[in-house]
Amino acid sequence: MITTRIIATGACVPEQIITNDDLAKIVDTSDEWITQRTGIKERRISSGENTSDLAIGTARQLLEKAEVSAESIDLIIAASVTPDYTTPSLACMIQKEIGAVNAVAFDITAACSGFMYALSVADKYIRSGVYDNAIVIGAETLSKIVNWEDRSTCVLFGDGSGGAYVEKSEDCGIIQEELGSKGEIYDILTGGYTPCSNAFNDVESGVDSMWYVSMNGREVFRFATKSVVTSIRNVLEKAGVSADELKYIVPHQANSRIVEIVSNKLKIPFDKFYMNMDRFGNTSSASVPIALNELNEKGLIERGDKILLTGFGGGMTWGTMLITW
């Protein structure tokens, strides 16, 4: 049976580090307030790099680590809610800069679940025999849609990119997955709203206040702790795999308190959840691949290990994937 196997991982983040103390200089907050509520201590914030710069950096790493040529790439899928342009797609910009002249390239939008959705799409193309390989990237510069006067949101987010190069395989790879969405509550987490302003109506042009990230934190917290727990249970049950068999769970890096609740509800040891949100914050679609790459680069996972990836985000969406590394 053909499966989709992760061959290489990569990540690219801005050099600029913004600590909680730095934020306290521009908004009414403190390191203690942020750390206790989120587990975040610092985040990477662009000093001019756009989303494409970070995504292209990740793609180049993937080619080098996988030891494959750009011309051999069949498919490029990028997930982002903060691309450089509405069009062209971020994926097409990546294609040009790395020279993947034979690839099909397109973007998807599923917010913080974006990497999971993109990896799932690549998996279907590979399993069906349409393509043999793919580059899958989640990339964001959330700093450009954050209201830096809103302490309830600006303390949460960071910029960065992460990704994976995947190939068809006949042994290891993606075992089981679940994707889901609950559009009826889409309005609890929004950002990037563009009003319909043109020469034939009276809508004012310019940046609307709804351009910035807006979040009902309590409702997002409630959604996350319920959907992630249910999704993980479903995936493990469908795969016939117990939590004891998992080497690591790589969750969306949004809030350490969410992960604690998920751990308690599932009765899975907290130390099985790999987290780096203390250093990168919430990077939306980039958070899972950035954490996965760090786990991989540290040599904490080996071929044959079972890894669970899980994310949730705007839409509202969620995605969980069980992988044999």
Provide the annotated active-site residues: 112, 252, 282
Contact predicate 95/126, CB 8 Å: no
Pairing mode, if any, of strands 159-169 and 133-141? antiparallel
CA count, 13 A, side-chain hemisphere, 189: 24
Listed residue (22, 30, 42, 35) closest to 255, CA to CA = 35
For residue 12, list its beta bridge partners: 161
CA angle (138 as vertex; 178, 314 as ends), nearest 5: 60
DSSP secondary structure, 235-283, as one string:
HHHHHT--GGGEEEEEE-SS-HHHHHHHHHHHT--GGGB---HHHH-B-
Q: Is 17 helix (H, G, I), strand (E, B) or coil?
A: strand
**Residue written as token pair 């319920």:** 226
